[in-house]
Amino acid sequence: MSIKGELIAVFESTHETMRAERAFKERRIKVRAIMKPRVISSSCQMALSLPDEKHASAVAVISDEALRFVGFFRKSKDGQWTPEL
Amino acid sequence: MKRPVYLDNAATSFPKPRAVIKAIQNALENIGGSPGRGGHKMALTASRTLFSARMAIAELLGLKNPERIVFTKNATEGMNIALKGLLREMDNVAISHLEHNSVIRPLKSLEESRGIGALHAPADRYGLPDPARIPDVSALVTTGASNVTGAVADIRSLGKRFGNKKTLLIVDAAQTAGSIPFDTAGVDALICAGHKGLLGPQGTGFVWFAEGVDPIPLIEGGTGSESASDHLPSYWPDRFEAGTPNTPGIAGLKAGVEYIARRGIEAIREKEKVLCAMIIERLANDSSIILYPPFDLSARASLVTFNIKGEDPSEVAEKFSRQGIALRAGLHCAPSAHRFLGTFPEGAVRVSPGPTTTKTDIKSFFTALDSILKNR
């Protein structure tokens, strides 16, 4: 269940999401696989929820591992998902 | 009932490691969900199972880009994906003399539907492609090791010859994956059975494609991704895995791959060589036996093919079966190889030790052979 303010990372495919999950865990970034909100346009059904303070670390992992990444999205207080730049 | 001594590992390996059986049982009892379809815990566990299986296979076989491992139900399906997905109208293909019907039959179909021409590649003395004499063709298809003679192809040299060239190198590794170390550099498509040397259950296999080798999918359907589109996703592996996969089987395959990684392919290879040496030594010294080459252990996979002079190979296999020895006779779905060997159409008897075969098993085979020869 998503909570307000939640940050999620979306990847190209389930395989890529699993690859990201493994890479994040290896770098001790605690993530949780969730169903991707339907309003976020991506082919993959999954997303990884991660703590706010790990945003920068996650960006580094995505770059280091050349993960096929769609983007970060954040849920605002009014429940809307917006791209996190 | 006493279990037969199983010497038919070239058909499918048996017995499987306990870890394989446990992994399949665990998948059936606890995983349940469909991978890539749904976000509940069981579906996620199923997705992780497929993901980790791909990673384990890639690591064991040295394959880059694990997402390019496409799970299939066997090597035959993988070969069909490769041949029908990659070959175009009027392409010309060279094949070894030892190909299985998993190659011969799709190529015959493609000959009729797309005008593809197939010819035997100039061969070495064992019927395998001679890397120095391959003509300019669209693709070279070769077995990694023959399921009839055991002759092992020089994939390293073929990879060097064709790597990054316009000729596609398509390798049938059904008899080598997990059993014989080999270099995949230069290979464009690698086809593997999951249930032979990799020790997974029947109903598993895969095909891997190198970067830049992009076949047309063989089947279309639901992938759990891009569901609103009428078209398959463009990315791997989803593009080639329409339909619910065999998650319990793939869980078992993963356990088999991990088992091999723990033991080491080299160690398994050396053990099987010792067993094959025992068999060759016994058969080569018997004037009533016709033993087929290669005789050099380093040039053959873990199987030995022979005939008893004047005996129908199927009847010989039946006699072994009655004595509790499981082996395979006939054409082994590879009539071309038997033509090359001179054993067509009657075929031959094949005895194939596996990773769990013991010297005691081989001695039981000898005892049965002695009895069969004595009672002729």
ipTM: 0.85
- Confidence at residue B89, expressed as pLDDT on a 0 to 100 scale: 96
Q: How many CB atoms lie within 10 A of CB B345?
A: 9
Interface of A with B in 63-82 (CB under 8 A): 68
- Which of A10, A36, A45, A69 to mutate to test binding with chain B, by most B CBs within 10 Å of its CB? A45
Query: What is d(CA B232, CA B225) in angstroms, rounded to the nearest whole number?
Result: 9
Kindly identify which residue of chain A lies nearest to residue B228, measuring between CA atoms. Answer: A43
Question: Touching check for A45 and chain B: CB below 8 Å?
Answer: yes
pLDDT in tens, B74-93: 999 999 999 999 999 999 99
CB contact under 8 A, B226 and A43: yes
Show me where the domains of chain A are located: 6-78
- Confidence at residue B327, expressed as pLDDT on a 0 to 100 scale: 97
Q: Is the pLDDT of residue A2 over 60?
A: no
Phi, psi (rounded to 5 degrees) for B359 = -65, -30
Assigned CATH topology for domain A6-78:
Alpha-Beta Plaits (3.30.70)
Q: Of residues B332 and A40, which shows the higher confidence score?
A: B332
Phi, psi (rounded to 5 degrees) for B139 = -155, 145
Phi, psi (rounded to 5 degrees) for B100 = -80, 165
Closest among A23, A29, A25 to A53, alpha carbons compared: A29
pTM of the model: 0.94
- Which of A13, A24, A25 to mutate to test binding with chain B, by most B CBs within 10 Å of its CB? A13
Give me the residue from B38, B67, B226 closest to A15, CB to CB: B67
Give me the residue from B51, B224, B233 closest to A18, CB to CB: B51
Q: Which helix (H) or strand (E) holds B6?
A: strand B5-6
Question: Touching check for A40 and chain B: CB below 8 Å?
Answer: no
**Shortest CA gap A55–chain B (Å):** 23
pLDDT in 10s for each residue of chain B, 376 residues: 688 999 999 999 999 999 999 999 999 999 988 998 888 899 999 999 999 999 999 999 999 999 999 999 999 999 999 999 999 999 999 999 999 999 999 999 999 999 999 999 999 999 999 999 988 999 999 999 999 999 999 999 999 988 767 899 999 999 999 999 999 999 999 999 999 999 999 999 999 999 999 999 999 999 988 888 999 999 999 999 999 999 999 999 999 999 999 999 999 999 999 999 999 999 999 999 999 999 999 999 999 999 999 999 999 999 999 999 999 999 999 999 999 999 999 999 999 999 999 999 999 999 999 999 999 8
Q: Is the distance from CB of B205 to CB of B78 less than 8 angstroms? A: yes
Query: What is d(CA B293, CA B297) in angstroms, rounded to the nearest whole number?
Result: 10
Query: What is d(CA B300, CA B63) in angstroms, rounded to the nearest whole number?
Result: 23
Place of tokens 């159409």: B345
Model confidence at A42, in pLDDT bands (50, 70, 90)? Answer: low
Q: Is the distance from CB of B172 to CB of B214 less than 8 angstroms? A: no
Give me the residue from B52, B66, B225 closest to A14, CB to CB: B225
Q: Beta partners for B211?
A: none
**Helix, strand or coil, per DSSP, at residue B344:** coil
Report how many helices (DSSP H) and strands (DSSP E) chain B contains, helices first.
Answer: 10, 13
Residues of chain B with C-beta less than 8 angstroms from the C-beta of A43: 225-226, 233, 235, 238
Question: Touching check for A14 and chain B: CB below 8 Å?
Answer: yes
Q: How many CB atoms lie within 10 A of CB A59?
A: 13
Residues of chain B with C-beta less than 8 angstroms from the C-beta of A16: 67
- Confidence at residue A45, expressed as pLDDT on a 0 to 100 scale: 81
Give me the residue from A18, A33, A44 closest to B225, CB to CB: A44
